Structure 1
Amino acid sequence: MTHRSRQDMQGLGWAISDVAEVIEGILGAVSYLGSEWCALSGNATMAACDAYHYRRRERVPAGMEMTCEYYLKWAIGQNGDLLLLVSCHLSRG
Structure 2
Amino acid sequence: MSRVCELSGKGPMVGNNISHANNKTKRRFLPNLNDVTLISDVLGQSFKLRVSSAALRTVDHRGGLDAFLAKAKDDELSAKALKIKKEIEKAQAAA
TM-score by length of structure 2 reads 0.30
> Which is greater in Rg?
2
Greater per-residue strand proportion = 1
TM-score, structure 1 as length reference: 0.30
